[in-house]
Structure 1
């Protein structure tokens, strides 16, 4: 059925449910898993309306984000190990989350992407966007969306 499944996570409760479903599917189909967390780059421009931040503070913040992301995908790896599923933990740095998900799926030769959708509608979807929708409309790899 599936050989390699990419599971994208953001650490939310809904995303955790998608991780568990993706791991279960991998266990049933004998697939390996690529667990992915996309970390944004810290904004370095002064035009975003924020206060200028020292370079050392930016490095500290980015390091914290990287460590938190690594801990998250390592947790997926641990959960996969408990189910007998081989999991590769991957952290990607990008401000374009959907593109990073699609690129990682291609790079790791995945044949399915599993991710959650928060189901935002109306103005919230317009303002917050939908990374899942973007992946659905731009990926040539099948996408399983869980809510």
Structure 2
């Protein structure tokens, strides 16, 4: 089995994202593998992404730009905790998360995906779907999933 050289780490910027990145860093270290942390933002189905968001004293900007700017800052803060941990980069994509992860993994030539799963069951899983399950079913490379527990 070939050793990983490029690892894709999709995160949702929720609780547990730091632990997933840390696991990937520890896994990559012996192989000198590079890591790219990916966050995908899916526009809400019920609101147009070009809807303008404004507050007194601010320049109006689209919902998409506002959301992406906030997510980018959060991702930079998260990645900042891993400075000096090896080759680590970040990337943002817009679209349905599973499709975006699969597209980036395929076009980027990644040989491993390390991602979290919330382990939802029943109605929440039916309503929210499982990004991890979709990625596992269609990925061209191995996928390592880590169970992320949500703090109450």
1:68 aligns with 2:70: yes
Secondary structure in structure 1 of the residue aligned to 2:119: coil
Please name the residue that 1:114 is paired with.
114
Query: As a proportion of its length, which structure holds more helix?
Result: 1
Query: Residues 25-67 of structure 1, C-alpha deviation per residue, up to 9 Å, x if partnerless?
Result: 1223210011100011244xxxx4x7x8984239432122111
Report the RMSD for the aligned CA atoms in angstroms.
2.2
Extract unaligned runs of 5+ from structure 1: none
Please name the residue that 2:52 is paired with.
56
Change (3 A) 1:14 1:55: closer
**Is the 1:3–1:111 Cα contact (8 Å) retained in structure 2?**
yes
Normalised TM-score (structure 1): 0.83
Extract unaligned runs of 5+ from structure 2: 54-59, 148-152
Please name the residue that 1:89 is paired with.
90
Specify which of 37, 40, 48 is matched with residue 42 of structure 2: 40
**Is the 1:5–1:114 Cα contact (8 Å) retained in structure 2?**
yes
Q: How many residues align?
A: 139
**Is the 1:42–1:62 Cα contact (8 Å) retained in structure 2?**
no
Normalised TM-score (structure 2): 0.81
